[in-house]
A and B are shown apart, each in its own frame.
Chain A
Amino acid sequence: MTDAMEYKLQASSLNLYYGRFHALKNINIGIRPRSITAIIGPSGCGKSTLLRCFNRLNDIIKSARVTGRILLDGADIFNSGIGLTQLRRRVGMVFQRPNPFPLSIFDNLAYGPRVHGMRDREELEMIVENSLRATMLWDDLKDRLNAPALSLSPEQQQRLCISRLVAVEPEVLLMDEPCSALDPFATAHIEDLMRKLAEQYTIVIVTHNMQQAARVSTETAFMLLGELVEFGDTTQIFQNPRQKKTEEYVSGRYG
C-alpha cells in the first residue's frame, strides 16, 4: 500500500447500499491533493453517490448504509475524531443546480462562517470580500451585497455557491456536475475558475461531459453500475484505456 499522506482522500473497500440496492461496489480510489480528479460514467452508475460519501452527505438519506473506509489526510472520516460538522467544513460541495439560499448575497456568504460561530461583523465582511475575490465576483457584486442572491444569473449563482464554500475555508471541493445548468460560455468560465482553484484546493468533479473531464482533470475515474472500472491519468484514460468498457464509453460507443 502506498503512503496514506500521498492522498488527500482515499477510499478503500467502500460499499454503499440504499436499502437492499447495492449502489457502490468495493470502490478503491485515491485523490491527490491540489489536483482535479474527474468521475465519469453513464447516468445512475453511482458518481453522485460516491461523491457524497466523501462529505458524508449520504448520512441525511435514511436508507443509505456504508461499509469500508475513507481517509481524509490519513484519518478515517467515519470513526476518527473528525465530527460531521468539521468534515463537511473541510470537504465542501457544489451542486448540479446552483442553490444559493433565498437570502441576500452577503447573507449567503456569511451563512457558513455564522453557523460555525463567527459573529464579528468586520471579520464577516472581510471573509465575504475574500471569498468573492476567489471566484472573481467581487468587482461585479461589491456594490450590491444586499441584493437577493436569486436575482443573479445562473453562472453568477454557481460562482456564488463556490464562494460560499470558500468562505468556510475547505480543503476539498466536491463538484457534482457544476456546469450542467450553464451555457457553454459560463461553462468555460467555471472551468477556468476550477483550474485556478486547483492551485489551492483538491477538486473532485463529476461530469457527464467527457470533453470537460478531458479539459480540466489530471486524473479520471470511470464508473459503471456501481463499480470503479478504471482509474488513471486523464490522458491515459482517454487515449489509451486499459479496459474495453472504458474504451467503449470514452469513444461514445456505450449503450
Chain B
Amino acid sequence: MKLAPTAPLPPVPASERRNAARRIRLMPSPTVTERIVVALLWAMAAITIAVLVFIIGYILLHGLPHVTWSFLTESPRRMGREGGVLPMIVGTVLVTGLAVLIAAPIGVATAVYLTEYTAEGRLTAVIRFGADCLAGIPSIVFGLFGFVFFAITLGLGLSILSGALTLALMVLPTIIRTSEEAIRAVPYAYREASFGLGSTRWQTTLYVVLRSALPGISTGVVLSVGRSISETAAVMLTAGSALGLPDSLFDSSRTLALHFYYLAQENISEANAYATAAVLVMAILAINLFAYWLMRRFIARGGHHA
C-alpha cells in the first residue's frame, strides 16, 4: 500500500521531536503495527494450510501406492492382511448415507419449526438447549446408548441400521443448528413478499425460505456426512465389525474408519492401514468438492448475491 504524498510539515521544535521519538520507541507507528498484524495473520493461515497439506500428503504418499483396483473391489482376507476393502466401502456408504437420510429431514424440520412456526419462548429454548447438550456428548456415549437402545432394547442387533440410527442422533444437533442459522439469514423481505402474494406459511417456507437457505443447509449436511464417515467409537458399538459384505440393513458391517482402526491398532498391516486411510481421505475430499460444486451451481442459477 502506498501513502498519498502530503505537503511538507512545518519544522518541529527539538524538544517535541525527542518526546515524539520516545513515544515511537514505546509504541510502534500504526503502519508498523498494521504490517506486523498482517504478517502474523498470514503466518497463522499458512501454518493451517501447511498442516493440512502435510497430513493429507503424508497419508496419500504412504497409502495411494497400495490403493489398487483389486484393493477397492475385493473382500479382505486374513483379517485384512490381504485383499481389499469393498465390504467396508459398502458399509460406510450405507451407514453414513442412512444416518444422514434420517437426520437431515428431522433436523431441517426442527429448524423450520423453531424459526418459522413458533415464537421464541420456553419451548424453543428447551429444544435449543437440548440440541446443544447433544452436540457436546462424546461419541462413545452415543455408541453405548445406541448399543443399549437400538441393538438390544429394539432388538436391531449389531447392524447397519443400529449404526445409522446412532450416527443420526449424533449429527442431529449440527444439522439443526446450521439449518437454523441458514434459515435465519434469509431476508425477512422475501417472506413478506411471499405472504403479500397470498401464499400460505408452508408455501413460503418451502418455496422461499428453504430454497434460499439451501446452500447453508447443505453445508450442515456435508459436515454431518464427514463426521459420520470418520466416526469409529459409535459404530464399533452399534454396527459391529463384521468383515463380509452385508446382505441387508440388519447385518453387521465394518466401516472404513473402523477397519483402519483395527488394522493400525492391532498391527495387522501397515500398508493396508495407510491404503484404507487414503481411500477415506479421498472420499471426504470428493464429497466436499461435490458439495462445493453443487452450491456454486445453485447460487449461479438463483442469482443469490449473498
Contact = CB atoms under 8 A, between A and B. Distances in A.
A and B physically associate: yes
Interface of A: 55, 57, 60, 62, 84-89, 92-93, 95, 97, 99-104, 111-112, 115-116, 147-151, 161, 164-165, 168
Interface string B186-201: 0101111111111110
Name the residue among B192, B194, B195, B197 with the largest chain A CB count within 10 angstroms.
B197
B293 to A, nearest CB: 19
Given A111-B207, A115-B203, A165 B197 contact: yes
B223 to A, nearest CB: 23
A4 B190 CA distance: 34
Interface string B173-215: 0000000000000010111111111111001000110011000
B78 interface: no
Nearest to B193: A99
B31 to A, nearest CB: 39
Contact of A116 (B119, B198, B208): B198
A99 B204 CA distance: 14
B302 interface: yes
Given A60-B191, A111-B207, A92 B303 contact: no
B305 interface: yes
A98 B306 CA distance: 16
B25 interface: no
A93 B211 CA distance: 22
Name the residue among B119, B191, B196, B306 with the largest chain A CB count within 10 angstroms.
B196
B2 interface: no
Looking at chain B's contact residues, is the secondary structure mostly helix, strand, loop, or mixed?
helix
Contacts of B200: 85, 115
Contacts, number: 85
A101 to B, nearest CB: 6
A93 B302 contact: no
A102 B190 CA distance: 9
A85 B305 CA distance: 30
B304 A102 contact: yes
Contacts of A60: 191-192, 195
Interface in B261-306: 301-306
Contacts of A151: 303
B197 A112 contact: yes
B129 to A, nearest CB: 22
Name the residue among A62, A101, A161 with the largest chain B CB count within 10 angstroms.
A101
A97 B189 contact: yes
A112 B198 contact: yes
Given A85-B200, A86-B198, A99 B192 contact: yes
A62 B207 contact: no
Given A104-B302, A150-B305, 20 more contacts: A57-B195, A60-B191, A95-B196, A97-B189, A99-B187, A99-B192, A99-B193, A101-B190, A101-B193, A101-B208, A101-B212, A102-B305, A102-B306, A111-B207, A115-B194, A115-B199, A115-B200, A148-B303, A148-B304, A150-B304
A161 B193 contact: yes
